[in-house]
């Protein structure tokens, strides 16, 4: 084995994987120092290697170990939480059978075959016929899960949203809210022929279930219903009350669904009534990074703004055009936006920084320079900047930390020989958890203020006059507004450490137990690292903030590693879900319900 390869392996061996005691910590530091000395002696005995490489390895040793009690300061891990209830084994054995696999396929495939598409331009319920498909979906749920419907109480909120209550025997325990959504993103008709299998076929090829909603979010809803049906079949009666909330238009911002569900639950249960809330997570809740399996429950959400940019100027015949038409002015304004992206800086207060700490603490193959930057960044501004320089070459990392902007809609003009009098565009912003709605509006306003003056436009931003050249002298107008009255401030961040982190601790232990039992691994062993994460989009929980004291977890236990060489197709062609991933989701919700029912710390 070459010296460099040996050193690489030594770094991995010296890196602590989980929090250790002070004694164990001292031993690890001592071992690291010894390894460094051995490495340097080896270098002295050969002329092949330079000093720089061994010194870097030694730095990696020490950086990996010189944190309080190993990597506890970087990324502590909670204990695996295995339910004491023997029904966990009983239900788990059922989930592992070939017979149940096909039952699970039928459950999800049947749900996929009902096209519960939601649209941004939905009309009122009762007037827009496109809502009627949800009635068929409700009938399907009633038929597919008879014990759920004969045991739990069901209230329909605003006709199409579903609110179930599984009443527990101990009213002193805070209830828990488990959420999902019934609706799916519409299939673009022109792409229907591009699907491997028809988008609403629910086709099972022996490995995967295909169709719109397989990943987002009918698999979440159906796996939850499946878990409860199985527990009821096994005779389980909860002590704690569980509430299920299924919105009908999450993909269209939830105005008819989750908004109304939130109001109803606030009236029924009161503010901060729930111990915690679990809703859908990112499409890759479980994934591999740097040679280690990570699970990333979402503990925060970005804010949101659809900025509408309206430009108006005089019309007329296109044979006598001005220097700049309304569309031309709007185009120049949009170019200014794209030339002025929001600045992004790495901050120790961001959720992504917490994720990076776990990568550095537990990633087996993380590059030494990245690990070094992460470890040092907590106490060095220079290292923090270097960390940003390394990571922000990847646009995905920029999107996780900073405020983003995307020009998604544009419209203007009515005829080729008529000058357009009106033109508008919509710029979608996802607002950093370290920023605010007001800050984004102010920056957008400042970005275009100069161009508004250049084009002699009166400028009103969200009702506030920015520049007013007078109606008689202004060439036209520029107006900023909220395109769909959808704006949202960043969500509160769920605690992941300290006395208020009990729900996160419970979820973390549940994730690890589920992962182990599904693979036949030793139950108490740590085979998956749980790290704080954040979805890039928003969930229905945007309307549930008042229902729990900052305890919102966005996670479905969807295993992205199961896809291998086939993409999930979420929100696009060929959406699918491997049956193994779906079965594991059912195990997860079974484990979560049993662990939560037994817990007295939440």
Q: State pLDDT tens for residues 213-238.
A: 999 999 999 999 999 999 999 999 99
Q: What is the average pLDDT across 175-200?
A: 97
Q: How much is the pLDDT for 565?
A: 77
Distance of CA 135 to the CA centre of its chain: 29
pLDDT digits (tens, 9 = 90+) for 14-62: 333 334 444 544 565 676 677 767 766 766 666 544 555 555 555 545 5
Q: Which of 111-125, 159-173, 211-225, 471-485 has the lowest mean pLDDT?
A: 471-485
The dihedral through the CA atoms of 313, 317, 323, 327 has a sign that is positive
**Nearest one of 82, 19, 88, 172 to 602, comparing CA atoms:** 172
Tell me how far apart the alpha carbons of residues 216 and 213 are, in angstroms, rounded to a whole number.
5
pLDDT tier at 73, thresholds 50, 70, 90: low
The dihedral through the CA atoms of 542, 548, 554, 557 has a sign that is negative
117, 216, 250, 540: the catalytic one is 250
Q: How much is the pLDDT for 172?
A: 98
Q: What is the average pLDDT across 129-133?
A: 98
Q: What is the average pLDDT across 117-141?
A: 97
Scored b (16 or more CB within 10 A) or e, 526-554 reads bebbbbbbbbebbbbbbbbbebbbebbbb
User: Is residue 479 predicted with pLDDT exceeding 50?
Assistant: yes
117, 183, 251, 280: the catalytic one is 183
User: Is residue 280 predicted with pLDDT exceeding 70?
Assistant: yes
User: Is residue 2 predicted with pLDDT exceeding 60?
Assistant: no
Q: What is the average pLDDT across 138-161?
A: 98
Q: How much is the pLDDT for 564?
A: 81
The reply to whether omega before 217 is within 30° of 0 (cis) is yes
Q: Is 183 a catalytic residue?
A: yes
User: Is residue 6 predicted with pLDDT exceeding 70?
Assistant: no
Q: How much is the pLDDT for 3?
A: 38
**Nearest one of 523, 509, 584, 488 to 553, comparing CA atoms:** 509
Number of Cβ within 10 Å of residue 106's Cβ equals: 14
Q: How much is the pLDDT for 18?
A: 37
Q: Which residue has the tokens 């704690």?
A: 240
The answer to whether 138 and 161 are in contact (CB under 8 A) is: no
Mean pLDDT (the chain) is 90
Predicted TM-score (pTM) of the model is 0.86
Q: Which of 29-38, 193-202, 246-255 has the lowest mean pLDDT?
A: 29-38
Q: What is the average pLDDT across 385-412?
A: 95
**Nearest one of 251, 125, 95, 230 to 180, comparing CA atoms:** 251
Domains and CATH numbers, the chain: 3-70 (no CATH), 87-299+491-598 (3.40.630.10), 303-482 (3.30.70.360)
Facing residues of 409 across strands?
426
CA dihedral 282, 288, 290, 293 (to 10 degrees): 110
Q: For the chain, what percent of residues have pLDDT higher than 90?
A: 83
| Cβ neighbours for 47, distance < 8 A, ≥ 6 positions apart | none
> Apex CA 553: angle with CA 549 and CA 557, to 5°?
160
User: Is residue 12 predicted with pLDDT exceeding 80?
Assistant: no
pLDDT digits (tens, 9 = 90+) for 503-545: 999 999 999 999 999 999 999 999 999 999 998 788 999 999 9
Residue with the larger pLDDT of the pair 11 and 29: 29
Tell me the CB-side half-sphere exposure of residue 390, using CA atoms within 13 A.
17
Q: Which residue has the tokens 């769920």?
A: 494
Q: Which of 546-555, 565-574, 586-595 has the lowest mean pLDDT?
A: 565-574
């Amino acid at each position: 084995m070459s010296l460099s390869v040996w050193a690489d392996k030594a770094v991995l061996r010296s890196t602590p994987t989980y929090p250790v005691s002070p004694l164990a910590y001292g031993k690890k530091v001592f071992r690291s120092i010894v390894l460094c000395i051995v490495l340097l002696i080896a270098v002295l005995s050969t002329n092949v290697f330079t000093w720089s490489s061994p010194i870097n390895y030694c730095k990696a040793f020490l950086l990996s170990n010189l944190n309080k009690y190993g990597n506890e300061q970087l990324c502590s891990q909670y204990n695996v939480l295995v339910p004491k209830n023997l029904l966990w084994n009983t239900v788990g054995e059922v989930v592992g059978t070939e017979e149940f696999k096909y039952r699970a396929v039928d459950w999800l495939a049947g749900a996929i075959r009902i096209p519960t598409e939601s649209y941004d331009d939905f009309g009122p319920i009762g007037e827009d016929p496109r809502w009627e498909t949800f009635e068929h979906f409700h009938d399907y749920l009633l038929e597919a899960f008879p014990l759920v419907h004969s045991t739990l109480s069901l209230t329909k909120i605003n006709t199409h949203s579903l609110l179930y209550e599984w009443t527990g025997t101990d009213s002193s325990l805070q209830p828990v809210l488990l959420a999902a959504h019934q609706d799916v993103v519409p299939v673009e008709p022109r792409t229907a022929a591009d699907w491997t299998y028809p988008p609403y076929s629910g086709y099972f090829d022996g490995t995967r279930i295909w169709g719109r909603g397989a990943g987002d979010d009918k698999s979440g809803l159906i796996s939850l219903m499946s878990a409860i049906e199985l527990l009821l079949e096994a005779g389980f009666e909860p002590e704690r009350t569980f509430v299920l909330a299924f919105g009908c238009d999450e993909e269209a911002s939830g105005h008819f669904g989750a908004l109304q569900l939130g109001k109803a639950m606030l009236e029924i249960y009161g503010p901060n009534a729930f111990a915690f809330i679990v809703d859908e997570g990112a499409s890759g809740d479980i994934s591999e990074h740097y040679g280690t399996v990570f699970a990333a429950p979402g503990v925060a959400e970005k804010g949101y703004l659809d900025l509408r940019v309206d430009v108006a100027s005089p019309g007329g015949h296109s044979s006598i055009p001005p220097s700049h038409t309304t569309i031309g002015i709007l185009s120049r304004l949009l170019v200014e936006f794209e030339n002025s992206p929001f600045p992004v800086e790495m901050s120790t207060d961001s959720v992504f920084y917490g994720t990076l700490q776990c990568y550095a603490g537990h990633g087996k193959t993380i590059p030494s320079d990245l690990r070094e930057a992460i470890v040092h960044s907590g106490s060095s501004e220079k290292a923090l900047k270097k960390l940003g320089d390394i990571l922000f070459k990847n646009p995905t990392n920029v999107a996780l930390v900073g405020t983003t902007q995307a020009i998604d809609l544009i419209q203007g003009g009515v005829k080729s020989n008529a000058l357009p009098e009106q033109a508008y565009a919509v710029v979608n912003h996802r607002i950093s958890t370290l920023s605010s709605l007001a800050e984004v509006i102010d920056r957008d306003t400042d970005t275009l203020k100069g161009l508004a003056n250049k084009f002699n436009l009166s400028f009103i931003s969200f009702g506030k006059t920015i520049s007013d050249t007078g109606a008689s002298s202004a060439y036209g107008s520029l107006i900023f507004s909220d395109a769909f009255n959808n704006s949202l401030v960043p969500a509160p961040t769920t605690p992941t450490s300290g006395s208020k982190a009990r729900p996160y601790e419970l979820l973390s232990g549940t994730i690890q137990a589920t992962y182990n039992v599904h693979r036949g691994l030793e139950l108490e062993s740590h085979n998956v690292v749980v790290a704080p994460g954040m979805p890039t989009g928003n969930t229905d929980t945007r309307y549930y903030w008042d229902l729990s004291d900052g305890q919102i977890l966005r996670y479905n236990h969807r295993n992205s590693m199961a896809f291998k060489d086939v993409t999930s197709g979420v929100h696009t062609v060929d959406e699918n879900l491997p049956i193994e991933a779906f079965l594991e989701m059912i195990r997860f919700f079974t484990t979560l319900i049993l662990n939560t029912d037994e817990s007295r710390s939440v």
